[in-house]
Amino acid sequence: MNIHEYQAKKLLAQFGAPVSKGEPVLALADIDKAIAALPGPVYVVKSQIHAGGRGKGKFKELGQDAKGGVRVSFSADEAKANAEEMFGKTLVTQQTGPAGKQVNRLYIEDGADIETELYLSILVDRETSQVSFVASTEGGMDIEAVAHDTPEKIHTIGIDALTGITADDVAKLNTAFELTGDAAKDGETLFPILYNAFVESDMSLLEINPLVTLKDGHLKVLDAKVSFDGNAMFRHPEIAELRDETEEDEKEIEASRHDLAYIALDGDIGCMVNGAGLAMATMDIIKLYGAEPANFLDVGGGATTEKVTAAFKIITSDPNVKGILVNIFGGIMRCDVIAEGVVQAIKEVGLEVPLVVRLEGTKVKEGKDIINNSGLNVIAADDLDDAAQKIVKAVKG
C-alpha cells in the first residue's frame, strides 16, 4: 500500500525525523490557508500522486513549456498561482504511463537551503532476508541509472534483526554519505529513527530522495516515498486509513474488497482461476493459442460462492471481455463451490459472451453436475489445453 509524500513526512516527523514545515491542499479553497500557515518567502508546491518523476513531469492540459509537477515559488502570490494552475490537472511522468494521473492533492512546503543531495532507502533485501539501508551520495537522481552507471557509488548496509541498528551501522552510513560535523551527528539520531519507523510501521519501502544537507550543516528529509506491507496492516489501522483509493483502478479496489487478486490487462479473454501460479499459467496458454488475456484473477484458496460471484461480476464489467475462461484445480477449494458461484453470478448479471469452464480436483463431479444441470450455455472442457483452445476458438471464431 502506498501513501502520499505529505502523509509519509507526517509519519516520519512523528518518529522524530527532521522534515520541512508543510501544508497539504485537498481542495482549491485550501490554498490560501496553506500558504498563510507557512513562513515563506520560498514555497515549494508539490503534486501529490503515487508516482515518481514529478519534477520532470508535464501536465497534459498545459503546454510543453509549462513547468513540471514540483514548483519552487519565490513569493506567496507565485505559490498561489502555481497551486491553482496545478490543482486538478493530469500529470504525466516517467512512472505514470501516457494516461497520467490527476493531481487531486498538493503539498506546499517551506523552501530549504540545500548544500548537497543524498539518496537513502530502506527495504527488505531478498537475498540476505535482512532490513537494509541503501545509501548513495548521488541524491536527487534516478537511482536505477546510478546503480547501472556507477555501481560503486551505491552502498548497501544490512541490519541484524537481533540487535537492531548499531553504532557501527550508523558509522558505516555516515561514511557512505561522506557526512562530517553536525550532519554526521544528525545522522546518529536520524538513521535509527528511520530504521525504527520502517520496522515499527511495517514499511516495505522507505525512500528518501533526496536526503539533504543544508547550508547550516544539518540533515533534512526533503522527499519521502513510503510503501507499506499490506499483510501487516491488521496491526496498523491508523495507517490503513491513509489509503487513497482515487489512485487505484476501480475494478482492482472492488476485487481487493472481496479479497481477490485482480489485475486488469489489455486482452479480450477474461480469466478466473484458483491460485496465482495456475492463473499465470492459464494466461500463458491463452497466449500460446494466439489470444490475449483481459485480466489476471486469482480467487484464492478459500473462495466462497459470494466471492466467486463478485469475481465473475468484475470480469464481466470489463467491456473488452469477449469470452471467459474459468479454470479451477480444486485442492482446498471445492469445485462445487466454484460451480455454484458461477451459476449464481450468471443468474444475477447475465452472460453475453462465451464461457468455458474447466473443473478438476476436489468435488469435481458435483461441480460438473451443477454446471450441466443449470441449463446455462456453458462450454465444458476436459483439461487446461482443451479449455484454452475452446475459448480462443469461441472468441476468434
Partner 1 sequence: MAILVGEQTRVLCQGITGRQGSFHVQRAIDKGTRVVAGVVPGKGGHTHLGVPVFDSVAEAVAATQANASMVFVPPPAAADAIVESIQANMAVITCVTERIPMIDMVRVKRALRHSQTKLIGPNSIGVFTPGECRMGVMPLDIATPGCIGLMSRAGTLSYEAIAQTTAQGLGQSTCVGIGADIIRGIDFVDCLKLFADDDKTRGVVMLGEVGGGAEEEAAQYLKENPYPKPVVAYIAGQFAPPGRRMGHAGAIVMPGSGTARAKINRLMSAGVHIADSPMTIGSTMAEVLI
Name which position in 243, 287, 313, 393 contacts partner 1 (CB under 8 A).
287
332 binds partner 1 (CB under 8 A): yes
Omega into 210 within 30° of 0, i.e. cis? yes
What does the DSSP assignment read for 182-241? HHHHHHHHHHHHHHHHHHHTTEEEEEEEEEEEETTS-EEE---EEEE-GGGGGG-HHHHT
Distance of alpha carbon 297 from its chain centroid, rounded?
A: 17
Considering only residues 147 through 176, tell me which ones interact with partner 1, judged by CB under 8 A: 160-162
Q: Which of 318, 194, 216 is nearest to 266 (CA)?
A: 318
- For partner 1, the closer CB: 38 or 283: 283
204 binds partner 1 (CB under 8 A): yes
Distance CA 390, CA 382 (A): 10
- For partner 1, the closer CB: 184 or 279: 279
Name which position in 112, 124, 141, 253 contacts partner 1 (CB under 8 A).
124
99 binds partner 1 (CB under 8 A): no
Distance CA 275, CA 296 (A): 11
144 binds partner 1 (CB under 8 A): yes
Residue 289 known to be catalytic:
no
Distance CA 82, CA 244 (A): 23
61 binds partner 1 (CB under 8 A): no
- Nine-digit cell string for 268: 479480450
Give phi and psi for 73, each to the nearest 5.
-125, 140
263 binds partner 1 (CB under 8 A): yes
293 binds partner 1 (CB under 8 A): yes
Distance CA 198, CA 182 (A): 24
- For partner 1, the closer CB: 104 or 389: 389
291 binds partner 1 (CB under 8 A): no
Q: What is the size of the binding site for partner 1 (CB under 8 A)?
A: 52
Distance CA 376, CA 50 (A): 43
235 binds partner 1 (CB under 8 A): yes
Residue 264 beta carbon to partner 1: minimum distance, rounded to whole angstroms: 10
383 binds partner 1 (CB under 8 A): yes
Name which position in 62, 141, 278, 380 contacts partner 1 (CB under 8 A).
278
Distance CA 150, CA 137 (A): 11
Distance CA 236, CA 228 (A): 10
Q: Among the residues of the chain, which ranges form H helices?
A: 5-14, 31-36, 76-86, 143-149, 167-177, 181-200, 237-240, 250-257, 276-288, 305-316, 335-349, 364-372, 384-396
285 binds partner 1 (CB under 8 A): yes
Residue 119 known to be catalytic:
yes
- For partner 1, the closer CB: 84 or 383: 383
Which residues, at least 6 apart from 160, have a Cβ–Cβ distance to it below 8 Å? Answer: 130, 166
Considering only residues 351 through 380, tell me which ones interact with partner 1, judged by CB under 8 A: 360-362
Binding segment for partner 1 (CB under 8 A), chosen from 24-32, 85-93, 100-108, 280-288, is: 280-288
Residue 312 beta carbon to partner 1: minimum distance, rounded to whole angstroms: 17
CA angle, residues 262, 47, 209, in degrees to nearest 5: 85
Q: Please pick, among 23, 207, 247, 360, the residue that the annotation labels catalytic.
A: 207
13 binds partner 1 (CB under 8 A): no
257 binds partner 1 (CB under 8 A): no
Catalytic residue set: 119, 207
Instruction: List contacts with partner 1 (CB under 8 A).
Output: 124, 126-127, 129-131, 144, 160-162, 199, 202, 204, 229, 231-232, 234-235, 261, 263, 265, 273-285, 287-288, 292-293, 296, 298, 301, 329-333, 360-362, 383-385
